[in-house]
């Protein structure tokens, strides 16, 4: 467990820093006004799709790199990395169009009219950061894959430190409102990517990998292999994240108060989720390294350590959400109605801490095994076949509002946790397959 903790801690801090950037946006928007807060909530829900797709597809990098590293084949890592950069660039450019399309879709989705113009402005501004975000994840995942997670933490903290003053200047001093927040986030993402690229280029720790030793044009073979691994993970991550996005958009039709309360509660829950997510990322690396080394017992031990750390963290999160929900909501919004509903939703968030942490850990362990296709179908079934339909029925058809939709979240996450956990432990008892050849 000590090794997992040491590997996971920088990743947890990096994930918290990334999540804190959303909190900075929310706090600034809340102080600007309730309409702007609701607009940024809607815009952030759409933008989170971009984050999820980037995270999911580029999650192909850590298990590929960690397995090569564990097998003693570090000389092949540089070639994989250069093709991953091409994949990240193409992905980022395509996601600019996705964000712009999301802005267009706000009207037919029925988002409350007073929040719609600022939400569109926020999305148009932040869309320019999509390529920077993709490149940043690619660079970060390379470093994480060789079990050096410290750069991820530093990049995350620096990004957060830069967003606070820049977001304030563009939003309040330049009076750009929600658009100012979008431009601030986009600028920070590009700065993080550039800084991490320079570090990987100059750091002696990566010198033997030859990451930037030569220019490689895009080659379909390695990119296809990364996509074959990454696309199912992208779908899996998207299925979970889009469940939350769809929930936010549905709640956005219920009025400004419910949307603002949901935004506050989901931010609190998402912040706490960064801990098991960071542990899951570390577990991917440890499991992948054990696979490369042919150590079946190490695979199971790495997963068990990850589960233990994640459940301890989720217990602490649940206690804070139940006991401190109202106080946390009051930090963001002064509106009593928003605070009361947000505090109630945080109780629901406390309930799904356990299944959310368990499914995240199971998914991370499965990624280390490079098992991605069956988990993709599991997440589609759990989140969109069960969680969202039940949430919609309870929240809209039965008139329970946001609490009903959050009940759907709990049920979907619980189903995913059960099935993914069963899948991992079933595979972990099988003999390990040899690490594939990089072409």
Tell me the helices (H) and strands (E) count for the chain, helix number first.
16, 0
Cα 299 to Cα 285: distance, rounded to the nearest angstrom? 10
How many other C-beta atoms can be found within 10 angstroms of the C-beta atom of residue 270? Answer: 19
Q: Is residue 332 part of a domain?
A: yes
Q: Is residue 175 part of a domain?
A: yes
Two structure tokens written together for 47: 């933008």
The range of the structural domain enclosing residue 322 comes to 2-428
SS3 213: coil
Q: Is residue 433 part of a domain?
A: no
CB within 8 Å of 33: residues ≥ 6 apart: none
Q: Is residue 437 part of a domain?
A: no
Enter the DSSP assignment of 255.
-
Tracing tokens 């030859």 back to the chain, one arrives at 210
Count of the separate structural domains present in the chain: 1
Cα 83 to Cα 227: distance, rounded to the nearest angstrom? 11
How many other C-beta atoms can be found within 10 angstroms of the C-beta atom of residue 227? Answer: 16
Q: Is residue 201 part of a domain?
A: yes
Q: What is the pLDDT of residue 412?
A: 92
Q: Is residue 438 part of a domain?
A: no
Q: Is residue 153 part of a domain?
A: yes
Nearest alpha-carbon partner for 35 in 189, 252, 306, 243: 252
Tracing tokens 């930090």 back to the chain, one arrives at 331
Q: Is residue 434 part of a domain?
A: no
Q: What is the pTM of this model?
A: 0.81
Two structure tokens written together for 339: 């605070």
Q: What is the pLDDT of residue 344?
A: 92
- Are the beta carbons of 419 and 386 closer than 8 angstroms? no
Cα 319 to Cα 321: distance, rounded to the nearest angstrom? 6
pLDDT in tens, the chain (439 residues): 667 777 888 888 887 887 778 778 888 888 888 888 888 888 887 887 778 788 888 988 988 899 888 888 888 899 999 999 999 999 999 989 888 887 777 776 667 777 788 888 999 999 999 999 999 999 999 999 888 889 989 999 999 999 999 999 999 999 898 899 999 999 999 999 999 999 999 999 999 999 998 889 999 988 998 998 888 988 888 787 778 878 887 887 888 888 888 888 888 888 888 889 889 988 998 998 888 888 888 889 999 999 999 999 999 999 999 998 889 888 878 888 888 999 999 999 999 899 999 999 999 999 989 898 999 999 999 999 999 999 999 989 998 888 899 999 999 999 999 999 999 999 988 877 666 544 3
Q: What is the pLDDT of residue 434?
A: 63
Cα 167 to Cα 179: distance, rounded to the nearest angstrom? 10
**Angle, helix 178-202 to helix 150-168, in steps of 10 degrees:** 150
Cα 400 to Cα 253: distance, rounded to the nearest angstrom? 14
Two structure tokens written together for 143: 């470093």
Cα 275 to Cα 309: distance, rounded to the nearest angstrom? 9
């Amino acid at each position: 467990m000590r090794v997992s903790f040491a590997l996971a801690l920088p990743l947890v801090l990096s994930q918290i820093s990334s999540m804190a950037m959303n909190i900075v946006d929310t706090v600034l928007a809340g102080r600007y006004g309730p309409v702007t807060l609701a607009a940024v909530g809607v815009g952030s829900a759409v933008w989170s799709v971009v984050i999820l797709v980037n995270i999911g597809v580029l999650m192909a990098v850590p298990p590929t790199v960690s397995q090569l590293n564990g097998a003693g084949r570090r000389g092949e890592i540089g070639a994989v990395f250069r093709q991953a950069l091409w994949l990240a660039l193409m992905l980022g450019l395509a996601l600019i169009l996705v964000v712009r399309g999301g802005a267009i879709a706000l009207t037919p989705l029925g988002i409350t009219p007073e929040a719609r113009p600022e939400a569109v402005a926020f999305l148009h501004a932040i869309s320019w950061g999509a390529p920077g975000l993709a490149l940043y994840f690619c660079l970060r995942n390379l470093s994480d894959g060789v079990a050096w997670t410290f750069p991820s933490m530093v990049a995350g903290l620096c990004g957060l430190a830069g967003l606070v003053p820049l977001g304030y200047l563009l939003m309040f001093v330049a009076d750009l409102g929600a658009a100012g927040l979008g431009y601030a986030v986009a600028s920070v993402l590009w700065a993080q990517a550039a800084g991490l690229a320079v570090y990987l280029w100059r750091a002696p720790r990566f010198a033997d990998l030859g990451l930037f030793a030569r220019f490689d044009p895009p080659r379909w073979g390695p990119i296809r292999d990364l996509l074959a691994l990454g696309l199912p993970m992208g779908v899996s991550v998207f299925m979970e994240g889009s469940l939350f996005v769809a929930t936010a958009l549905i709640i956005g039709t219920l009025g400004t108060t419910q949307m603002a309360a949901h935004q506050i509660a989901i931010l609190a829950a998402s912040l706490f989720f960064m801990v098991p997510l960071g542990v899951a990322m570390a577990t991917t690396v440890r499991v992948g390294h054990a696979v490369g080394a042919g150590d079946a017992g190490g695979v199971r031990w790495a997963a068990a350590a990850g589960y233990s750390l994640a459940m301890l963290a989720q217990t602490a999160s649940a206690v804070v959400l139940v006991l401190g929900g109202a106080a946390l909501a009051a930090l963001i919004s002064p509106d009593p109605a928003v605070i009361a509903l947000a505090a109630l939703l945080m109780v629901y968030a406390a309930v799904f801490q356990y299944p959310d942490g368990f499914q995240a850990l199971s998914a991370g362990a499965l990624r280390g095994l490079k098992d991605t296709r069956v988990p993709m179908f599991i997440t589609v079934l759990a989140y969109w076949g069960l969680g969202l339909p039940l949430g919609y029925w309870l929240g809209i058809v039965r008139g329970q509002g946001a609490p009903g939709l959050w009940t759907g979240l709990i049920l979907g996450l619980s189903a995913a946790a059960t099935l993914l956990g069963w899948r991992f432990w079933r595979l972990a008892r099988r003999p390990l397959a040899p690490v594939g050849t990089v072409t």
